[in-house]
Structure 1
Amino acid sequence: MRHKHASTPNRSFRVADQIQRDLAELIRDLKDPRVGLLTINSVEVTPDYAHAKIYFSLLVGDSAACETALNEAAGYLRNGLFKRLQIHTVPTLHFHFDRTTERAAELSALIIQANATRARED
């Protein structure tokens, strides 16, 4: 007898990956000026495929305004996913600004500053 739950994690990753690729294309077509140049960093899909958290980073623009615009356009983007994905349930989309790159830049600056201070002391 084949166990159904054994393949679920791989399918979940594949669905999340496909959502990430398709959303990148759909977001490019948005006409909202609040949506700047962004990168979708990751997509987390719930086990029942009812909800998806989309984490993005922004190259140009206001992160709060972009997050608001994307969440307002979530229905339109979900409708676009319906047409592209070959799954029964397309999840409700929830966009979140990913601060990982900001934190990495801050930590990098602190490390550079600490190294410069150490070099002056030596």
Structure 2
Amino acid sequence: MAKIRVGRVGEQLKKELSHIIQTELKDPRIGFITVTGVEVTSDLSQARVYLSVLGSDDQKEETLKALARGTGFIRTELGKRMRLRHTPELLFKFDSSIEYGSRIESLLGEINRGGGDN
């Protein structure tokens, strides 16, 4: 029963965070961000928020800093929108799976192009 609730809370957090980050945060350092997933601890005290950020490594770092600075605001907004006794502590992390996938895709493309030379 608890696992179902944690999953539901994670999905709701993902939806609300996406909306808050894209529409409410007014920091120019925040570029194009996609919230790819949220993992919530079983006691709902922490939420790991996985992000995909378009841009260079410097832009990604600036985005992470801007999010860290806006965490208080984000948690306050989450508290208003979700009915939880305590709003979880937010830990922002990069989701490298999208980059990893596109790197694999480009390598496979190179292999396919170079494969006919033998």
What is the TM-score normalised by the length of structure 2? 0.92
Please say if 1:51 is aligned against 2:46.
yes
CA RMSD of aligned residues (A): 1.2
Give the partner amino acid of 2:76.
Answer: N
State the partner residue of 1:115.
Answer: 112
**CA-CA distance at 1:54 after TM superposition:** 0.2
CA contact (8 A) 1:74 1:93 kept: yes
State the partner residue of 2:74.
Answer: 77
Structure 1 residue aligned with 2:20, among 14, 19, 26?
A: 26
In the TM superposition, structure 1's runs of 4+ consecutive aligned residues that sit over 4 Å from their partners are none
**CA-CA distance at 1:120 after TM superposition:** 1.9
- The structure whose Rg is larger is 1
- Provide the secondary structure at the position in 2 that maps to 1:93: strand
State the partner residue of 1:16.
Answer: 10
CA contact (8 A) 1:43 1:55 kept: yes
CA contact (8 A) 1:19 1:43 kept: yes
The aligned length equals: 115
Give the partner amino acid of 2:5.
Answer: R
Structure 2: runs of 5+ lacking an equivalent: none
**CA-CA distance at 1:60 after TM superposition:** 4.6
Cα distance in 2 for partners of 1:33, 1:96 equals 19
CA contact (8 A) 1:38 1:60 kept: no
Give the partner amino acid of 1:93.
Answer: L
Give the partner amino acid of 1:88.
Answer: R
Structure 1: runs of 5+ lacking an equivalent: 1-6
CA contact (8 A) 2:54 2:60 kept: no
- Provide the secondary structure at the position in 1 that maps to 2:42: coil
Cα distance in 2 for partners of 1:52, 1:37 equals 21
**CA-CA distance at 1:59 after TM superposition:** 2.8
**CA-CA distance at 1:76 after TM superposition:** 0.8
Deviates more, 1:78-87 or 1:55-64: 55-64
